[in-house]
A and B are shown apart, each in its own frame.
Chain A
Amino acid sequence: MMASDGKGPARGHIDLRDIRVSFMQNGAALDAVSGVTLDVEPGEFVSVVGPSGCGKSTLLNIVAGFLKPSAGKAMVDGKPIDGPGSERGVVFQQYSLFPWLKVRENVEFGLRMQGMGRAERESKARTLLGLAGLLSFENHYPDQLSGGMKQRVGIVRALATGPQVLLMDEPFGALDAQTRVVMQEILTNMWQQLRLSVLFITHDIEESIFLSDKVYVMTARPGRIKAEIPIPLPRPRTPEMTASPTFMALHRQLKALIREESLAAMGGELRDGGLGQDWHLGSQDDVRAVL
């Protein structure tokens, strides 16, 4: 679903077609992700949810250019993805700020790589930090910030180079529940102003509904798209909406879908020797103890 005011940019279209990712394990090819087709329209906010280990992050790594799919087409604006690039900003779960750079220097990093002059990148970084309410921390080192602030810096840094696409890999996963809610509001407000395409990976159902125009639900491994759920909540989003009947209905629907998959995933683990392996290790230890 497109943003309603029509200000959306013409670029930033993520297009994944029939993506398969397989890797070798114990001599056998194993699919992490299989037959995934996914679409993020320009200016759209799209979330991917699913049980842990379903390959959500694998999809993001493909779009980011860290990973080549074993089969299928991965394109941004019609061009095949070939390695990482600053037109696709990435926000990682582990903050990933450079500890040796001050907050502003972290934000300036991408601009510096583009060859922007000192004065220009300084003023641009300051503007962005001001928008994120972090200007008074520009000369702090990342280790001096709280988790929520670090992640705001991470987002600002990813946005500084003016990407058409923002890829976020469970960006609030390491934050406590209260901070996470605040960060979601900050993010939806920033997105409202910038209107760039966002691919958001999360395991938090509420978060995915609150932020997104569209939510993809993935199956347990091998990850496939189980459902594509449009989120018809109006924009801009406010915290009150989480109590609305639409929100609640979506929440129930998504929860049911994911529950099935989580159970399947756990069942699969039990079947595929999750327990069996432990037992095996245990018995090996026993042998060692006897020896």
Chain B
Amino acid sequence: MASAIPMRAVGPQADAATARTAELHKVEEGMNPPLLIKRRDLHRAPPTPAGLPPGTGARLLGLLRAQLGSLALSVLSIALLLGFWYLGTEYRWDFYIRFTNVPSPGEVFTELMGLVGSTQFQTNIGTSVGRILSGFCIATALGVVLGLLCGRYAVLKGLLFPALEVLRPIPAIAWVPISIMLWPSTETSIIFITFIGAFFPILLNTLHGVASVDPVLIRAARCLGAGELALLVRVILPGALPHIFTGLAVGMGVAWVSLIAAEMISGQFGVGYFTWEAYSLIEYPHIVIGMLVIGVLGLLCSGGIRLLARLAMPWQRAGHKENG
């Protein structure tokens, strides 16, 4: 358990930082020109169509222009963030918010290059991903199955929900101490906390999804000879799927929050542990690297869920036709 009181960097640390900012300046110069050209290209991109009939072509161009516009804005948005960070660290801003000890983008980048190959860094990432996947998969299996059953059988819901309603408002982080007591190893207790984070959004959204299934579809299925199991698997589950995926997306977010908190408090390995350890050991660039890694992993996970949703619900992509 990390209990060391972190110290503020002084003297030599600050000098090193100035040296690194100089490096960063070079890096930024090296990076900026292509970025600028790209942006200029984007502005120029929608070419005027010569000899093209108005109508579909013009509409397509309009669409393209809108897409490029939003892309340009995205690039600008990221550039502004990096620019703000860079300026803050370059000039060591110190009005209420203090950039004095914040590592510059350049420092972070150089440190990152050094870290990428290290097995320890990879182990940290692998451990976190493993924990997320275990906790999240258990939460999905349990949340969806319980959600379907509770949505279908009022008695089961009546039996389980009062207890779950009491537990639900407790944030996953608050489970950390009891979880360490409950489970035989740190590993299982961290997975349990991740599970707790993901479980409730998945359960509640599944329940909501079951309630949203059009009752006429259930009647139709019963008329076609569907038994209870077929009804659950072939009608209620697919009918609830859009809401289930909402639950999975939300659950994945909460799972990450819970995992990082658990790793920071009780962890060994993992990106949360890595980030907190960097703070304790005054390796400030590593803090930012940890944050970035967490951000990227979170993004990948939610992207994975969106992809899964598209694959699992092809009918949602199918075009709609007007009545007639």
Using a CB–CB cutoff of 8 Å, the interface residues on chain A facing chain B are 64-66, 83-86, 88-90, 92, 94, 96, 98-101, 109-110, 113-114, 140-148, 157-158, 161, 174-176, 179
Contacts and interface: CB of A to CB of B under 8 A. Distances in A.
Given A140-B318, A143-B318, A176 B223 contact: no
Nearest to A92: B216
A179 B219 contact: no
A145 B321 contact: yes
B223 A89 contact: yes
Interface in B200-251: 214, 216-217, 219-227, 230, 234-235, 238-239, 241
20 contacts: A84-B219, A85-B225, A86-B225, A89-B223, A92-B220, A94-B216, A96-B216, A96-B217, A98-B238, A109-B221, A113-B225, A113-B230, A140-B318, A141-B315, A143-B315, A143-B318, A144-B320, A158-B223, A161-B224, A161-B225
B164 interface: no
B318 A86 contact: no
A66 B323 contact: no
Interface in B131-172: none
B324 interface: yes
Contacts, number: 84
Given A141-B315, A143-B321, A176-B324, A110 B219 contact: no
Given A64-B219, A179-B324, 7 more contacts: A89-B223, A92-B216, A94-B216, A96-B216, A109-B226, A113-B227, A147-B323
B216 A86 contact: no
Nearest to A149: B321
Nearest to A83: B222
A84 B223 CA distance: 5
Contact of B238 (A92, A100, A144): A100
Given A100-B239, A145-B321, A157 B219 contact: no
Nearest to B231: A113
Interface string B302-316: 000000000001110
Given A85-B223, A98-B238, A110-B224, A146 B217 contact: no
Contacts of A99: 315
A93 to B, nearest CB: 9
B114 interface: no
A143 B315 CA distance: 8
Interface residues of B, number: 28
A290 to B, nearest CB: 38
Contacts of A148: 324
Interface of B: 214, 216-217, 219-227, 230, 234-235, 238-239, 241, 313-315, 318-324
B160 to A, nearest CB: 27
B225 A146 contact: no
Nearest to A146: B324
**Residue from the set B214, B238, B324 with the largest chain A CB neighbour count within 10 Å:** B324
B324 A64 contact: no
A88 B318 contact: no
Given A90-B223, A113-B230, A144 B323 contact: no
Given A85-B225, A114-B225, A144 B220 contact: no
B320 A146 contact: no
Contacts of B322: 146
Contacts of B314: 141
A109 B221 CA distance: 8
Contact of A157 (B216, B224, B320): B224
Contacts of A101: 315
Q: Which 5 residue pairs are nearest across A and B when measured between Cβ atoms?
A: A110-B224, A86-B225, A113-B225, A141-B318, A100-B238
A96 B155 CA distance: 28
Nearest to A179: B324
Contacts of A176: 323-324
Nearest to A114: B225
A88 to B, nearest CB: 7
A96 B318 contact: no
Contact of B319 (A66, A110, A144, A161): A144
Contacts of A96: 214, 216-217, 219-220
A86 B224 contact: yes
Nearest to B312: A100
Contacts of A161: 224-225
Contacts of A100: 238-239, 241, 313, 315
A227 B238 CA distance: 45
Nearest to A160: B224
Nearest to A100: B238
A22 B319 CA distance: 44
B257 to A, nearest CB: 32
**Residue from the set B220, B235, B313 with the largest chain A CB neighbour count within 10 Å:** B220
A113 B230 CA distance: 8
Contacts of B216: 92, 94, 96
Contacts of A92: 216, 219-220
B220 A90 contact: yes
A261 to B, nearest CB: 27
Contacts of B313: 100
A144 B321 contact: yes
